[in-house]
Homo-oligomer: A and B are copies of this chain.
Amino acid sequence: MLTDLSVQHFLDALASGEPAPGGGSAAALAGAQGAALISMVCNLTVGRKKYAGVEAELLECRARADGLRAQLAGLIDRDTAAYELVMAAYKLPKETPDQAAARTEAIQSALRQATLTPLETLVACVDVLELSPVILAKGNPNAASDGAAGMLAAHAGMHAAALNVRVNLNAIEDAGFVSEMSTRMSSLLIRGEVARASAWQLAELAVGGR
């Protein structure tokens, strides 16, 4: 499992000339980092008298961020696995017409899965982004730069995941699937950018400075 590798070894695996892990797993890791930093801000807020008024909301936020961290950590491995299925399908024999047809079918099926996996990463990154204004508005302000760092990581993860969705859609023949995915992706990206803008404004206010 990629998540069992040390951080150093994961970075080395990413840098290698193997086509996976690549941008899709990196997107999931960025999102997982974002979720972790949201949880961190919640953990630096809950249980303190000063923030008793937001305790319930931040406990709920932490539960969601913890769940998203687990989901996105799983997607680090699942994205690489989905990519490997595509590569395996391309290696199927195509000598007879039957083989060629089966290979095309296998490639198209693997590509759909390799699209749905980064789309799941994209959805989870948007969920992380939508938690970030909450913790920047209501969480411990001493951890604002940590919360903002989480938002930025999730934003990078969202766009990296979207590029991976698009690359796979380019090779998919089912126009209905392509159109449905493109539409879903566009509205997710808008939601993510709205959350980012709101979180960034709150981060600027919290960090302030000269």
Contacts and interface: CB of A to CB of B under 8 A. Distances in A.
Interface of A: 2-8, 10-12, 14-17, 19, 22-24, 26-27, 29-30, 32-33, 35-37, 39-40, 43-44, 65-66, 69, 73, 76, 143-150, 152-153, 155-157, 159-160, 163-164, 166-167, 169-170, 178, 182, 203, 207-210
Given A143-B22, A149-B23, A156-B30, A166 B3 contact: no
B170 A145 contact: no
Given A163-B207, A170-B210, A209-B170, A4 B15 contact: no
A37 B22 contact: yes
B27 A69 contact: no
Given A30-B30, A30-B153, A43-B17, A23 B145 contact: yes
B26 A150 contact: yes
A108 to B, nearest CB: 16
30 contacts: A2-B7, A3-B7, A3-B8, A4-B6, A4-B8, A5-B7, A6-B7, A7-B73, A7-B76, A11-B73, A14-B33, A15-B37, A15-B65, A16-B43, A19-B143, A23-B146, A23-B147, A23-B148, A26-B37, A26-B146, A26-B150, A30-B33, A144-B167, A149-B163, A153-B160, A166-B207, A166-B209, A170-B209, A170-B210, A178-B210
A145 B169 contact: no
Contact of A210 (B26, B65, B182): B182
B207 A23 contact: no
Nearest to A6: B4
Given A19-B44, A23-B149, A148-B160, 16 more contacts: A6-B7, A8-B73, A11-B36, A15-B37, A15-B66, A17-B40, A26-B33, A26-B36, A26-B150, A30-B153, A153-B160, A167-B209, A169-B209, A170-B207, A170-B209, A170-B210
